[in-house]
Each structure stands twice: as C-alpha cells, then as structure tokens.
A and B are shown apart, each in its own frame.
Chain A
C-alpha cells in the first residue's frame, strides 16, 4: 500500500466534501425508501422509519407482489426487455457487420440514416405508429415488443459497427481460404470476436427497455400488459384509496432492484459504455 500523502489529501478536502455530500444524500434517500418498504404506513407517517419498532414488515413485499400486481408488471417488463434485446441483436448485428466491411450502393445513406434516427424524438414517430398499429391490428404485448426492437436498431447498429471496424480483415481472409461461407464467417468467427461490445450494448438495451415509459403509457391499454413503470404510476395513483404506503415503497424497491443489481456487478462496463459509443467530443 502506498503511504497516504496527508498534505495532498488536505488540499483535496473541499472536493471530498462535495462528492461525499452528494453521495450521502443519495444513500440517505435509498436507505430510507428501503426502510419505509419494511415499515407500516403508521410508522412512516410518525417518522419512525428505520427504527423498526414493530419488526420488519416483509408482508409489504407480498402485498405489492400479489395484491398490487407488481408480479404481473415485473413479468411483462422482463418479457419486453429480454425479447427485445435478442430481437434487436438479430437485426442490428448483421447490418453492422456488413456496413463495417463493404462499401456498396446506399451504404453511406443507410449509415447516415441510422445516425440521424438515433436523435429523432419519439414524439415525431409515435402518432403514425399508432395509426399503423391500429390499421394492421397489432396491439398489446406483441406491439410493444416490436416497437422496442425497432426503436433500438439504430443505436445498436452504430454501436456494433464501431467495434466491427476495429477487427482485422485477416480473420475473414483465413476463413475464406478455408472455404467458410460469408454468413458462417460472420456467425462463427466475427460475432464472437465482438462479444464484449454485444454484452455492453445489450445491457444498455435492457436498461432502456426496462425503464421505458412514454410508449408503454400510450400503447398499453390493460393492466395485464403494463410494464413496471406504468404499473408503478398506477399503484401511486390508486394510493389515495388504498393508503398502503409500505406497499408502495416495496413496489418502488422491486422496480428499482433489477437495474440496480445489474449496475452493482457491471458498473465499470456500463460507465465505459456510456462514453464509449456515439459520444465523441
């Protein structure tokens, strides 16, 4: 271990104070919510959260999960996220590979189109999509999954494209000499080589779909198809009648947990990914 240079640390003290205060605030908030999710509504209102005088009320979680339908919302969100992550890869990875390898008619146009699409606001596309979906009779879970896949295609393609371009062409030349076909080379050699990028982009797609709210609010019509975001809003709006604060905070924790756990284990990868793809000075 290096010896602590006290003089240097002292000079950094104001900095430490700033970041510590900010992080402390975040921590207080999260711990209080966690505490409240294990307390009764009465304890919450009398300011006795985190004292747990009547023990830990895990039944809040049971209520949230079963009575308030969080299990349904959770299942839906999981379904939407997992299927769209796979679906978007199936569309984006081949295109990213081909675009990174060859110049062909329309390749530049496609590439520029994808980059522009990344910054098209959802409000510009939501209304015609609504008309199209009604016209074609697509609705409910299937509609949301399709939309989540399609909307993530530009970002995923551009992200993977950058990584495919860094790979040397010698791999393909060797594969070609060995008689490996183009699609086979892609599947068996090139795709595994960009596996780290595939994982990063999938984490981002997962979190983005898990946290998506706007389209879910517009396109889900029944409680059985709500993802967690819309479901949580629903729980909060009905709180006036139920008055179950403990249950609501339990629901918040359940919604918060999946992306939080993902972050605990992969924060380095996620942080590197935020500034790695697309963001250039």
Chain B
C-alpha cells in the first residue's frame, strides 16, 4: 500500500498536539515545579525560586500529609484485599454455571456506571444515615442501639466500605474475562480426577489468573492513589483528618481549603510526584513478583 506522507502527518498532528499539551508539557512542568518554591499557580515562571528538595521535606514534615498517606495505605491494603477478594468470589460464582449469569453480571457491575457523586450520596444519605438509614433500621430490628456511622470514629470505615461496594463490579469483570479464557476441559478433567470446587479454584483458576490478578493490582493502586471524590463527599466542606487522603491534601494546598493560610503550588507538585512514584513502584514490584510462569494453555 502506498505511503501517503502528507496524510500521515495531518492525521497524526492533532493527536500528537493533544499528547504534548495535555500530558507531556504538564507532567514535565509539575516535576520541575516540585523543586521550586511556587506560591501561586497563576504566577509567572520568573517568580519561581529554586528550592531543591525543600517541598518534599515540607510535606513529609506535615502531619496532615502523613495522616493522608496513612489513610491511603489503609484503603490500599484493607480496601484492596476486600475488593479483589469479593470481586474474585463474585466472578467465580457468576461463571460457575448459575442461571441468569448475564443479569447478575450486569447488576453487580451497575454501581460502576453510576455517577460516583450520586452513589456516595446514596450511601451517606440512606445506608449510613443516623435517623432513617438502612443500617440503623437493621440494628433496631435486632434491638440494638442506633450507631453513628458517620461519626468521627467510624467515618473512615464507612467511606472505605462504600468505596469497596462501588469498585467490586469492575474487578469482577476483569476476573470473569480471565476465568472464561481458561479452557473448560481443564475443569472437566479435574472433576473426573475427583478434585472438588475448592481444590479446582486454588490449583487451576488462581494460578492461571496470575496475569489478570497482576493487572487488577496495578489498576487498584492507581485507583487508590488518585482517591479524592469519596473523601470530598464524606467530608464535603472541611477536610477532616479522619478521611483526608493525599489528593485532598494537594487540593487544599494548591486551590485553597480551610486551614490553609498560604497556598503552596510547589508542595502540591511534590505530592503529585510522590504519588506517581508510588504507582510506578507498585507497578514494578507486582511485575517482579508475578514474573515468570505465565502459564501456557
């Protein structure tokens, strides 16, 4: 086929420009900014003064930032274990030959397509609501005392639980597509050899899903490091220490939140760089851990 250079040029140019304007330039500038003292985003570059690692030292000395990193870590580990385990359970059940497979698959994925703001509102204003909420109705049914689910003690866990609920469907779909890629005759052979469902899961399904699980861990890491909306919904007006996460810390720092006296875009950029490095680190580590043994079948 003839190579039409003019056409190639004009067809690629808009995409190339988008990439440069929206991604390459901003990422470079953010990295650069994290080494400079920059108060306002709208100021000109000539106002920047070199600060070395000053911004990084500043954020790692900030109690709010450390709390936010701690919260993020808990969401990453606890939320991750629950989300991925529930998603795997759902995926195994949905592909086990139950009737209405398509319905269940679609219904479990449903929370993922709802606007997260609407979903969080449903949880806050109904499930966890103190006066008429679902959980307290259930507690009352069993004769218990109403619980303040959104009080300072439980808020973080309430937020994490609803976040898990909203995430399960997506990871379930990833696992389903992985399970459906495993040849059925492996399971048939195992059944003939007398292996039970549990044994089949741990000896066939899980090892063969290595690659898919790796992908899901990477996605989950990106998802938790960019965690923002749920905190904003659970503490909408003032950021609270119980629910703060790094992106909210960054948001308050750069765009102004309560308790932030001077804005500091340089420190915000440093937060961004730290989070990106974490994502890269997690990616490299999972890639290592799960390397080799990509089984052929």
Contact = CB atoms under 8 A, between A and B. Distances in A.
Interface of A: 8-9, 12, 15-16, 18-19, 22-23, 26-30, 32-33, 36, 44-47, 49, 90-92, 94-95, 97-99, 101-102, 104, 110, 113-114, 117, 119-132, 134-135, 147, 149-151, 153-154, 157, 169, 172-173, 176, 182-183, 186, 207, 210-211, 213-214, 217-218, 228-230, 232-233, 236-237, 245, 248-249, 252, 255-256, 259-260, 262-263, 267-268, 270-271, 274-275, 279-281
Across the A-B interface, the 7 shortest Cβ-Cβ residue pairs:
A95-B15, A281-B211, A125-B26, A94-B11, A150-B22, A15-B93, A275-B177
Contacts of A113: 19, 23-24
B236 A127 contact: no
Given A29-B134, A233-B236, A131 B23 contact: no
Interface in B84-128: 89-90, 92-94, 96-99, 102, 104-111, 113-118, 121-122, 125-127
Given A23-B107, A131-B41, A154 B19 contact: yes
Interface string B247-284: 10011001100000000010011011101100100000
Contacts of A262: 113
B118 A252 contact: yes
A31 to B, nearest CB: 11
A146 B37 CA distance: 29
Contact of B23 (A33, A125, A132, A271): A125
Contacts of A173: 1
A153 B19 contact: yes
Q: Determine the main DSSP class of A at the interface with B.
A: helix
Q: Determine the main DSSP class of B at the interface with A.
A: helix
7 contacts: A33-B126, A113-B23, A128-B26, A150-B18, A150-B22, A256-B115, A281-B209
A281 B115 CA distance: 28
B61 interface: no
Contact of B181 (A102, A150, A256, A281): A281
A18 B89 contact: yes
B122 A134 contact: no
Contacts of A99: 12
B215 A281 contact: yes
Contacts of A12: 96-98
Q: Which of B107, B113, B134, B173 has the most CB of A within 10 A?
A: B113
Interface in B37-57: 41-42
